[in-house]
Amino acid sequence: MNIYQPKNIRNVALLGHSGSGKTTLAETMIFESGTSSKRGRIQQKNTISDYREIEKEKEKSVYGSVLHLDWRGTKINLMDTPGSPDFLGQVSDTLHVADSVVMMLNSETGVEVGTEAFWKATQKHDLPTLLAVNKLDSPQSDFQKTVDMAKERFGRGVVIVQFPYSEGEDFHAIIDVLKMTMYEFPEDGGKPDKLPIPDSQKAQAELLHNELVETIAENDETLLDLYFEHGKLDEYQMRDGLRLGMMNRDIFPLFCTCADRNMGSGRIMGFISNVSPDPLVRSLPLKNGDNYTISLDGSPSMFVFRTTSEAHVGDLSFFKVTGGEIKPGDDLSNKRTGNGVRLGSLFVNQGGKRVEVSKMLAGDIGVAVKLKDVESGDTIAAKGNDLEFAPVSYPATTMRVALKVLKEGEEDKLANALHQIEKEDPSVRVEQSQELQQIILHGLGEEHLAVIHHQLKERFRLDVEFITPRIPYRETITRKTDSHYKHKKQSGGAGQYAEVYLSVEPWYEGIPDRTDLNVRDVQEIELEWGGKLVFQNCIVGGVIDNRFMPAILKGIMEKMANGPMSGCRARDIRVSVYDGSMHSVDSNEAAFKTAGLMAFKDGFLNASPQLLEPIYEIEVTLPAAYMGDVMSDLSSRRGQIQGMDSEGSIQKIKALVPLQELDQYTTRLKSMTQGSATYTREFHSYAQVPHDVQKRVMEQNLQAVEG
């Protein structure tokens, strides 16, 4: 395997909505470059990229895949990604180490909702992006509509480099307005003939060529001067201008391809080789907030962006070399743990296969086997090198389920399996909820969670059922009340005595101070489950010794953790201890803890208690045709519409919706919109539940206690 200098390396992410043709293009590029002698087909289940059984079964990408090819001396590391937003986590780690993006657009459907999510991701990572319009041989192909949608959504920086001579079943040639050449392909694709542009297309080609030149010149003063002076730019000047425009995300060149018939892939690879940036001109974010430019100079370092595990192999650590060169036997240090890491064999990845290499230089992407205690997001560098890169930022989860083990005694086995899954896919979140007495699995959608269920069953041999998770309700009060409790117990020997008077009231930000009480001390306690408890000592005359105040507070906190009304945690309450009594012999901490707990419970139940439910702010992204159905459905889920917006043909709805109404929302949303809509959610606040919901929850919790 050749060792490539950084200037001859390109790290390219393939992005696009499901069905846009990313994996097919990757297979075509690998075949066309001569890296593989056979072109894989999704339908034949023999692709290099989608090599896992579940991907063959679904005939779609579920995991990110790292591939490589050589195009005329340039190594292109291709990173194929899933097209479903349910697997956006696999896109996040890819974009963290990519230096440019090929965004696939389906000419049948144009800019889809999934494309919108991926575009935002490229913006977040500030990545140079070229667009590839695919499936131009489809009878439903509409190249101009796709271009119009791209310009509408991505801006005037979208500039045509190629357009089809004809599309649909007659598609066989592409006109390139950068090279001012027509590429005509044989029936089965492959190497095209370079021909003059036909007279019938010359006017259109000239028009688009001039638009391309003007767009390039507008973004570079030197080229603008040359353009004004000579009235044109040559191919090499245009390349330089395109490179600068792409780096600044001012220009998004648009190409044509029919990946399935191997038409157009060679030109895209040539453009990547000649124009797309090498790793030395890109930077990675550091943990301290700075940016670091990759360099061949200096001590060796690498960033681990993904970890997986394979049977009979063990843990695989995918990395990008961020400095110097690395080779087997290097003794480095894990900046997260401080422990030493010795590198074993190094490989470049080709889907499910690996090719061993003697060393790797800055900017390259590879994989190492069995690195001890190394996780996704770790920086591995020479000892004494303080460099530490920022971890990958993963999208917030949108769906949750609770897990139920169907075979007794497999709880530990489940915990180990979930730990491994979470390690390999950090977009998954496992919550061991003591409050709800459930294991909650959080994912990015129904399909994401279905893949995890498949792993638990097939890989870890666990019989697990997904059930509806409980809701983390909260309790509070709505009015002020006073309460009193005297704890008196005599059972031989020393007795127990404590008497406590409390004022219990709702707490809110900016609440006035109590002027009717002599407040001697105030403790504001931020509760771990959200909200606040304000505890005030208002004792005068020493009727309760100060040393018993912590015990009273402890009793109150114990009851707040197991709310008086329904057993749910309580929040946002102010408690003032204003009177009481004690006994010189029988009073102790245990007695005052009990008195505080019981007085608080009685006061709480007499203060018009109210159940609260978690409310989430959601943003639904969808085609305009489904707006009415989605709005109506949100209303039926007690949703409050906060606003609507549009970005071209894509619509957005913002709403506040109770968590109880969202647990199956992903499934319903896909059903209503034929899989074309997505949504994100974020916790917003707690709000009062309707009376019927409060009554039902209290009855359910009472049955659970009695049962």
Per-residue pLDDT, 206:
94
Residues 6+ apart with CB under 8 A from 320: 11, 97, 279, 284, 302, 303, 305, 363, 364, 365
Of 79 and 494, the structure prediction assigns the larger pLDDT to 79
pLDDT (tens digit per residue) in 116-149: 889 989 999 999 999 999 999 999 999 999 999 9
Q: How far is CA 314 from the centre of its chain?
A: 26
Q: How many other CB atoms sit within 10 Å of the CB of residue 439?
A: 20
Q: Where are the alpha helices (DSSP H) in 59-142?
A: 88-97, 113-124
Using alpha carbons, list the distances in angstroms from residue 656 to 62, 616, 619, 630, 643.
Answer: 31, 6, 9, 14, 10
Q: How far is CA 169 from the centre of its chain?
A: 39
pTM for this one?
Answer: 0.88
Which CATH number is 479-607's, of 3.40.640.10, 1.20.58.1610, 3.30.230.10, 3.40.50.180? Answer: 3.30.230.10
Distance in angstroms (rounded) separating the CA atoms of residues 346 and 328 = 6
pLDDT (tens digit per residue) in 275-290: 999 999 988 999 998 9
Per-residue pLDDT, 114:
81
CATH 3.60.70.12 fits 6-168+251-281, yes or no: no
Per-residue pLDDT, 706:
56
Across 370-490, the runs of DSSP E, i.e. the strands, are 379-381, 399-405, 429-433, 438-443, 464-467, 474-477, 481-489
Using alpha carbons, list the distances in angstroms from residue 346 to 304, 323, 384, 654.
Answer: 13, 16, 23, 48
Identify the CA nearest to 417 among candidates 443, 455, 379, 364: 455
pLDDT band at 93 (very low <50, low <70, confident <90, very high): very high
pLDDT band at 177 (very low <50, low <70, confident <90, very high): very high
Average pLDDT score over residue span 153-164: 94
pLDDT (tens digit per residue) in 376-432: 999 999 988 888 999 999 999 999 999 999 998 999 999 999 999 999 999 999 999
pLDDT band at 37 (very low <50, low <70, confident <90, very high): confident
Per-residue pLDDT, 222:
77
φ, ψ of residue 415 in degrees (nearest 5): -60, -40
Residue ranges per structural domain of the chain: 6-168+251-281, 284-381, 399-467, 479-607, 611-693
100-106 vs 9-16, strand pairing mode: parallel
pLDDT (tens digit per residue) in 448-482: 999 999 999 999 999 999 999 999 999 999 999 99
Average pLDDT score over residue span 242-256: 95
Contact in structure between 49 and 80 (CB atoms under 8 Å): yes
CATH 3.30.70.870 fits 399-467, yes or no: yes
Per-residue pLDDT, 705:
53
Per-residue pLDDT, 479:
96
Q: Which two tokens stand for residue 58?
A: 């679904």
Per-residue pLDDT, 119:
92
Contact in structure between 21 and 75 (CB atoms under 8 Å): no
Is pLDDT of 81 > 90? yes
Which H or E run includes 65? strand 65-71
Distance in angstroms (rounded) separating the CA atoms of residues 585 and 1 = 85
Per-residue pLDDT, 138:
96
Q: Which two tokens stand for residue 664?
A: 């199956």
Contact in structure between 124 and 152 (CB atoms under 8 Å): no
- Indicate the residue type of 584: S
pLDDT band at 591 (very low <50, low <70, confident <90, very high): very high
Same topology for domains 399-467 and 611-693, yes or no?
yes
Average pLDDT score over residue span 96-118: 93
pLDDT (tens digit per residue) in 494-544: 789 999 999 999 999 999 999 999 999 999 999 999 999 999 999 998 899
Per-residue pLDDT, 647:
77
Report the helix count and the strand count for the chain, using DSSP H and E: 16, 38
pLDDT (tens digit per residue) in 197-243: 999 999 999 999 999 988 888 877 777 777 676 777 777 888 888 99
CATH 3.40.50.2300 fits 284-381, yes or no: no
Of the chain, the percentage scoring pLDDT greater than 70 comes to 98
Of the chain, the percentage scoring pLDDT greater than 90 comes to 77
- The per-residue pLDDT of the chain, averaged, comes to 92
What one-character DSSP code corresponds to residue 362?
Answer: T
Place of tokens 């896992």: 52
262 backbone φψ class: left, alpha, beta (φ>0; ψ -120 to 50): left
Q: Where are the alpha helices (DSSP H) in 107-165?
A: 113-124, 143-154
Which CATH number is 611-693's, of 1.10.1200.10, 1.10.10.10, 2.120.10.30, 3.30.70.240? Answer: 3.30.70.240
Is pLDDT of 554 > 80? yes
Average pLDDT score over residue span 431-448: 92
